[in-house]
Amino acid sequence: MNDNLSLMELVWSASPVVQLVMLLLLVASVASWAIIVRKRGVLSGAVASSNRFESDFWSGGDLTEIYQQLTRGGASPTAMAGVFEAGFRAFRRLAQQGGVSPGQVVEGAQRAMRVAQTREMDRLEENLATLATIGSTSPYVGLFGTVWGIMNSFTALGNVQSATLAMVAPGIAEALIATAMGLFAAIPAVIAYNRYADKVTRLEVRYDTFAEEFATILERHARHRASGGATAATGGAG
């Protein structure tokens, strides 16, 4: 390819509409990679945090001590620890109130855990819809630029008596760049969305499972309190 058909020459010589399409696709690609990098860190952190918390929780430690460790810094915990913190905080508050049955105490803790889990899922799913949008629309935006560029190339042929391949090649080439940029923006976004959506689903299942198991532990401790027991609440099988 000679200098007249270099990539930059094709971009600069493209029609304003095609250049606008290329600019939109470039912005979409940059935004997509920014989301991909950030979301990778968020999800990896959630998985690692949940693994650490589950290891501590199922080791059979005292629930009050675990709760105090999580809230000691003043910052609200996230991931599975956040679900635990919300549930145990509600459990302690309701258990200290008079006239509240064990069933009501556990129900209150379950509601608090559902709210905390919903907030956590919102945090994990943030910007995933943007990735899906970029992945699904970028090829069509690039195709629009391609169609527009080819249309301009063939329209220009109407002004000449003898058409040659050299006359239409630059216009077609610059139009095809838009399609390539659309695919360049879409493919990473689609791959990342599918991968991250699967991770979010797996984390949601883990949170659901933990909330159910923790509710069972809290119910046992609530009934023990109601019967006059004073044994410390422990995690795991305690």
**Is residue 64 one of the residues assigned to a domain?**
yes
pLDDT at 162: 62
pLDDT at position 51 over 90: yes
| Rounded average pLDDT over 24-52 | 95
Angle at 233 between CA 230 and CA 235, to 5 degrees: 160
**Is residue 69 one of the residues assigned to a domain?**
yes
Model pTM score:
0.82
pLDDT single digits (tens) 191-203: 999 999 999 999 9
**Is residue 28 one of the residues assigned to a domain?**
yes
pLDDT single digits (tens) 5-33: 576 666 776 778 888 998 999 999 999 99
Contacts of 219 (CB under 8 A, 6+ apart): 102, 103, 106
| Domain enclosing residue 56, as ranges | 3-226
pLDDT at 173: 79
Confidence of residue 83 (pLDDT cuts 50, 70, 90): very high
pLDDT at position 4 over 60: no
Sign of torsion, CA 182 6 146 144?
positive
Two tokens, residue 143: 């195709």
Annotate 149-215 with DSSP letters as a single string: HHHHHHHHHTT-SS--HHHHHHHHHHHHHHHHHHHHHHHHHHHHHHHHHHHHHHHHHHHHHHHHHHH
**Is residue 232 one of the residues assigned to a domain?**
no
Two tokens, residue 154: 């063939």
Backbone φ/ψ region at 120: left (φ over 0), alpha (ψ -120 to 50), beta: alpha
Give the separation between CA 162 and CA 121, rounded to whole angstroms: 63
Total structural domains in the chain? 1
**Is residue 117 one of the residues assigned to a domain?**
yes
Confidence of residue 231 (pLDDT cuts 50, 70, 90): very low
**Is residue 233 one of the residues assigned to a domain?**
no
**Is residue 238 one of the residues assigned to a domain?**
no
**Is residue 126 one of the residues assigned to a domain?**
yes
> Which one, of 120, 45, 124, 61, lies nearest residue 86 by Cα?
120
